[in-house]
Structure 1
Amino acid sequence: MISFDSFERIASAPLNTWPGTLVVAALFVLFAIGVHRVGARILTRIARPYPLMSVVLRFVDKPALALLIILGLGFVLVETPDALPFAGALRDLLTVMLIVALTWLAVRSVGAVAEALVQAHPLDSKDNLQARRIHTQARVLARSVMVVIVIIGFGGALMTFPAVRQVGASLLASAGVAGLVAGIAARPVLGNLIAGLQIALSQPIRLDDVVVIQGEWGRVEEITGTYVSIRIWDQRRLIVPLQWFIENPFTNWTRNSSQIIGTVFFFVDYRMPLAPMREELERILQNAPEWDQRVQVLQVTDATEKSMQLRVLVSSFDSGLNWDLRCRVREGLLNFMQSSYPQFLPRTRADISPEGEHVDFVAPLERSMADGHDGAAGTIRPPVSRGTANTEADPVASRGERHGPEASANSAASTAPSAPGGGAAKPADRR
């Protein structure tokens, strides 16, 4: 009868040489792959009704396979005798690989939980405030936890080497100086890491928030472990460090709700009636799909020496719709004024009539010739008396009136009868 010692001696016999060890290692690798496939199929069927578990299984599939293979190889190398060349070095290498596989599995597990939470709360819902809050917390906290896991895994892998452990012991002797130097060197990294945790917990910004930063309007597209990517309206990207949001003020249009009120300003003449404008505004909003039927206001908010200012307030479900609604209202009211009340559009008034005389309307000046001559050669046409002066838009006439004959001469020339034969009339003699 074969005893347990004899069985153990027979089973460990192939491990005394490298060819036998390689064959046994290959068999263990095939066994690990088979166990992984069978277990994955069973767990997939069990997790099918549960979306969260399905996402986790999909994320940890490859790290779990790598971990099973490393465990199988580790079992073989543990049973390998020390007399076999390079056996000790391979054990150390396999230990590092085991730590890397465990770190990979932990990172993917955290990412799987975050992704499952994100998929369970889509952003395409009508009121996505809660979904954006969960997205921000899940992604930022997941990245922070991943960074911590990677740091711990990297430190654990380094501690497997005796030389590194001795360096660590010597550093502990000068922990004060080392901590100070490390703190100064890693200040940006640690600052962004802590800022990321603060943003995830307090949430001054969330994914898909509408923000205004240094005059740039955009949406929060991505929050990483070190920076925030803002998608500006013209498809540029504004990259802002995480710590900036903790230390500087900024505008968040969707902090508590995506609903927003927009303004449209008009400048019109004082004589413009407001009742037709309000009726037209109501008609425009009733036909506007961007309006959420909350706010509809038209008010006179200012009065200057030239015109009065009208402010229109309209509301929408979010800022994108409100921008389109403001453009729609602006275009509609302008078209209404141009077609129905064009005389009340803002204009500049100037009363430049002589003293004591008021003219409401002066017809445009008609001149047959700009140089003051008629068709006959050598015949000078007397200047026409005007009740108003020309503006700077007519520089030739302005110069003639400023530097021409005296006003009395102009008046006499214009009232004297024409001489026979088309000649110029003589001025009346002064007595």
Structure 2
Amino acid sequence: MPDIPTLTLTLAAATPSPTPEVVQDVVRGVGDVVVPLLAVAGGVVAGYLLATLIGLAVQRAAPRSALAADLSRRSRRPLRVTLLVVAVWVALRLSTDPADAWRPGVEHALLIALIVALTWLVGSLAFVLEDLALQRYRVDVKDNRHARRVRTQVQVLRRITVAVLVVIGVAAVLLTFPGARTVGASVFASAGLISIVAGLAAQSSLANVFAGLQLAFTDAIRVDDVVVVADEWGRIEEITLTYVVVHVWDDRRLILPSTYFTTTPFENWTRRAAELLGTVELDVDWEVPVDAMRAELTRLLSVTDLWDGRVGILQVTDAVGGVVRLRALASAVDAPTLFDLRCYVREGLVAWLQREAPQGLPRTRWEGGGGSPARPSGVPTPPGTDAPT
């Protein structure tokens, strides 16, 4: 029986040594895996560093530029994703052989990722431009009718932009598949029939969409307009392609389809200007001193900031049914201020009547006839009175 050293030498002699070709194949296989991984890692680092440098440059300009601040806030992430996808794609193309079997599938996935990232980036840039347009038109000023019109149109355009970008992005992704191109050609061939069927099936929805576009671009209503709809007073809070949100005075939200504002009459108190006239009506007695009450109205209006100084009069509008109806007419800069002004005038005039002219408070009078009533037969006449004839 051979000893262990002899057996080891025998086995070593029997095992064939690797040839140079095998070693080269192994090295080449390892290189085909390691080199692309290192290239991808380098591309990720390069793309991240480039995105970071661009972000730092934009952030440094942000304190001096509202556009740079909005770009940093909205476009930082989509730009980073786009640069990373581009860097990985370039690294793979430089470090791999086009004949590799796995490369087409990976490039297809990177192409889809690039389309999604570019759609995201373009959408963020569109939002930045829309925000820039909104910043030029302030709504916290006295005459903000044009600014509210622009804000309404920008809100609608923003939703249209999102919808169009999503449709284009989905279509671009689908067109990267060879089979989808054939399907797309057949779909376009039958587009007329499909549009007719879709139009009949979604007639109400399409009507709301067109009504929303009409509201946005015909200036019928704008964001922050004061309206009275369905016997409710409120402000237009949001206008979409299909519905309108009305913020009612008691913090309720009234959701109405866009077609409501194109088919139903409603009141728009800020259609041309925010200034409004308001009335306060009081029923008082015939003995009310009208001139003194008119002077009190003038005094009340002169000591309040709620009045804009345009209109302030007191008139007798009716005098029937045992009372005199007085109407105080006053003006204010907008609807909320007018409501407060009407309450202020009403309280002031009532307090003045109670304090200075109590004879003007409304009262009900009842007076009997001038003669004595006839007595029934058989009832004795009191002494000292004449019997009725």
Letter in 1 for 2:239: I
The DSSP-based 3-state class of the residue aligned with 1:292 is coil
Equivalent position of 1:118 in the other structure: 134
Q: CA deviation at 1:255?
A: 1.3
Structure 1 pair 175/138, CA: closer, same or farther in 2 (3 Å)? closer
Q: CA deviation at 1:14?
A: 8.8
Aligned with residue 311 of structure 2, among 263, 279, 295: 295
Equivalent position of 2:79 in the other structure: 64
TM-superposition CA deviations, 1:73-114 (whole Å, max 9, x none): 222344544554543232222222111111111111111122
Equivalent position of 2:55 in the other structure: 40
State how far apart, in whole Å, the 2-side matches of 1:14 and 1:132 are: 66
Equivalent position of 2:110 in the other structure: 94
Q: CA deviation at 1:232?
A: 0.5
Alignment of 1:68-87 (within 5 A): 68-79=83-94, 80-81=96-97, 84=100, 86-87=102-103
Q: CA deviation at 1:189?
A: 4.5
Aligned with residue 343 of structure 2, among 327, 333, 337: 327
Q: CA deviation at 1:276?
A: 0.8
Letter in 1 for 2:366: A
Gaps of 5+ in 1: 1-12, 358-386, 388-405, 417-431
TM-superposition CA deviations, 1:354-381 (whole Å, max 9, x none): 4636xxxxxxxxxxxxxxxxxxxxxxxx
Equivalent position of 2:254 in the other structure: 238
Contact 1:16 1:84 (C-alpha < 8 Å) held by counterparts: no
Structure 1 pair 355/124, CA: closer, same or farther in 2 (3 Å)? same
TM-superposition CA deviations, 1:293-350 (whole Å, max 9, x none): 1100111112222212111111111110110010000011011112222232223333
State how far apart, in whole Å, the 1-side matches of 2:175 and 2:378 are: 111
Contact 1:17 1:84 (C-alpha < 8 Å) held by counterparts: no
Structure 1 pair 258/264, CA: closer, same or farther in 2 (3 Å)? same
Matched, 1:54 2:69: yes
Contact 1:144 1:196 (C-alpha < 8 Å) held by counterparts: no
Structure 1 pair 247/94, CA: closer, same or farther in 2 (3 Å)? farther
State how far apart, in whole Å, the 2-side matches of 1:15 and 1:265 are: 94
Structure 1 pair 150/281, CA: closer, same or farther in 2 (3 Å)? same
Q: CA deviation at 1:211?
A: 0.7
Structure 1 pair 282/82, CA: closer, same or farther in 2 (3 Å)? same
Contact 2:58 2:71 (C-alpha < 8 Å) held by counterparts: no
Equivalent position of 2:15 in the other structure: none
Equivalent position of 2:39 in the other structure: 24
State how far apart, in whole Å, the 1-side matches of 2:93 and 2:76 are: 26
- After alignment, is 73-82 or 131-140 more displaced? 73-82
Contact 2:174 2:180 (C-alpha < 8 Å) held by counterparts: yes
Gaps of 5+ in 2: 1-27, 385-389
CA RMSD of the aligned region, Å?
A: 2.6
- After alignment, is 299-308 or 23-32 more displaced? 299-308
The DSSP-based 3-state class of the residue aligned with 1:58 is helix
Normalised by the length of structure 1, the TM-score is 0.75
Equivalent position of 2:275 in the other structure: 259
- After alignment, is 196-205 or 98-107 more displaced? 196-205
Structure 1 pair 160/186, CA: closer, same or farther in 2 (3 Å)? farther
Structure 1 pair 14/76, CA: closer, same or farther in 2 (3 Å)? farther
Structure 1 pair 228/407, CA: closer, same or farther in 2 (3 Å)? same
Q: CA deviation at 1:202?
A: 1.9
Q: CA deviation at 1:140?
A: 2.0
The DSSP-based 3-state class of the residue aligned with 1:96 is helix
Choose between structure 1 and 2 for higher RCO, CA contacts under 8 A separated by at least 6 residues.
Answer: 2
Matched, 1:181 2:197: yes
Letter in 2 for 1:317: V
Identity over aligned residues, as a percent? 40
Structure 1 pair 411/207, CA: closer, same or farther in 2 (3 Å)? farther
Contact 2:61 2:69 (C-alpha < 8 Å) held by counterparts: no
Q: CA deviation at 1:212?
A: 0.7
Equivalent position of 1:152 in the other structure: 168
State how far apart, in whole Å, the 1-side matches of 2:199 and 2:103 are: 40
Contact 1:261 1:315 (C-alpha < 8 Å) held by counterparts: yes
Contact 2:289 2:357 (C-alpha < 8 Å) held by counterparts: no
Q: CA deviation at 1:411?
A: 5.6
Q: CA deviation at 1:220?
A: 1.2
Aligned residues: 356
